[in-house]
Amino acid sequence: MIQALLIDLDQTLADDRSSAAEAWEQAFAALSVLDPGVPHDDLSEVYWRLSNDIWSVLDNAMRPDATAAGIRLEVWKESLRRVGCVHWEKLGAYASDQYWEHRLETYHLYPDAIPFLQAAREIVPVILVTNGTCDIQEAKIEKTGLNRHVDAVLIAQAVGASKPSPVIFQKAMEIANCGPEQALMVGDNYDRDVFGALRCGMRAVWVQRDEHDPEPPFPPYPELIVRTLSPVLNLLPAGVT
C-alpha cells in the first residue's frame, strides 16, 4: 500500500520548458535593441545546446558550489562569443539579467497541480523531489507557493545527489518513514524519475504533458502513463476517483 507520494517539479507540476523559452525570447528582444546584428536562430541553437550540456553534466555530478545564476551568465556570454558578437561579455551579462527578470514571471504551475497536491495530502505525505541547484529551484517553489502544498522538499544540490541516483530517493523515503514498495514516484522524465524510482524498488507514474511524448523506451515500465495528475489519486489508499 502506498504510504508516501514523491513528485517531480519541472514539467510535472510546472511548465518549466515554456517558461524558459519565453524568457529567452524576451531577453533576446532586449538584447537585439542594443545589437541588432545578433543572429536569433544561431544564438538560440548554440544557447540551448550549451545549456543542456551543462545541466546534463550537473545531473550526473552536481557541484555544491554551482548556481543557476552563474551558469546562466556563462552560457549567455559563451553563446554570444560563439556567434561572433564583439561585445559578448557586456551583452552576455545584460541578456542574463533580462532572462532572469522574466524567468519567474513566466513560470507557472499546471492548472491541475494544486488541486492534485491538496487531494493527495489528505491521503499520504507528499515530498517534492527535484534536480537542480538550490538558488533557482527555491525561487520557483517560493514563487508558486508550492512549499505550502507539500510536506517536504528535496533539491538535488542540497542532498548531494540528483535523480536517478538512489541516494535522493532513499532520503525521501527516510523522511516519509517508509520502504520502497510503499513509495510512489510521479515525474515526467523517464530516466531520472521513472527508471530511477523503479530501480530502487519503488512504484512509478510517468507524466507526459506533451501529447507527442514517446512510449517507454525500455523495461521496467511505469505503473501508469498520464497526461494529467488526477488519475494518480486512484493508486493511493483511498482510491479517490
Same domain, 158 and 177: yes
- Among the three residues 103, 124, 139, which one is the final residue of a domain in this structure? 103
Lowest mean pLDDT among 61-65, 186-190, 203-207: 61-65
Domain count, the chain: 2
Same domain, 62 and 8: no
- Among the three residues 68, 103, 138, which one is the final residue of a domain in this structure? 103
Task: Check whether 131 has a pLDDT greater than 80.
Answer: yes
The grid cell for 70 is 552563474
Same domain, 68 and 128: no
Same domain, 148 and 41: no
For residue 124, the enclosing domain spans 4-15+108-235
Interatomic CA distance for residues 88 and 13, integer angstroms: 35
Query: What is the tens place of the pLDDT at every residue in 3-59?
Result: 999 999 999 999 999 999 999 999 999 999 999 999 999 999 999 999 999 999 988
Of the two residues 218 and 84, the one the predictor is more confident about is 84
- Among the three residues 103, 121, 156, which one is the final residue of a domain in this structure? 103
Predicted structure pTM score: 0.93
Same domain, 97 and 114: no
